[in-house]
Structure 1
């Protein structure tokens, strides 16, 4: 639905659109290995980490960075991030890196999904950042 809405917006400004909705296995198995995916594509990302991994998606050394975006300030700060163990410094660096990405906009972020969960008060469980639900992490409170 999101891809169709974007395609309609492109067509409204005179761009010809050939919308192809592919299963991830087809996209990852055919287009990504070629090194040349279509110039416009729609992907969802998520990771259970603190932000460093998501920022690497636009780093020039990342093999799947098909935007070919390269920013010297970003690269320098990212190198500092990967070498820092101080949580406050890492958070500050990630905030700066995210600001650079948002200003240069190698990707167009469309939305941020927020997940909601419900559970009985008799269940001790905490939602994970990666959206996975592992029932072995839950316990019953008597």
Structure 2
């Protein structure tokens, strides 16, 4: 697996994505089909954000972040002198479905520890995003609610 090739310009790990061609399950294809309003048999697994087709979620429009990174001759946004920019700004819209709010965290971890070290933790980061609980000031955690009154 080529970690560099399977890390999107915006800091998502294609290798840890449930719709990436090597990871997609029948259950994920069914879920994706329901979201897209198509038959599961018509779901085309993603080849990764850096592939010719790019992310399956962008359709034919292409990715402005990918275009920006490529035009600057960079691998990802963490290498940019303007990082972070508005392209990485978290937003609540569809945050329960897509891990887009992890981009800024992922890019910061890449910048801090390097691509390989981040790749080793990318699956855990995505798991915590979707399965973890949130406590103000604590970040994601696993298990029961640990908010204590003082």
TM-score by length of 1: 0.27
What TM-score comes out, normalization by structure 2 length? 0.26
Q: Which has the higher contact order (CA 8 A, sep 6+)?
A: 2
Is the radius of gyration larger for structure 1 or structure 2?
1
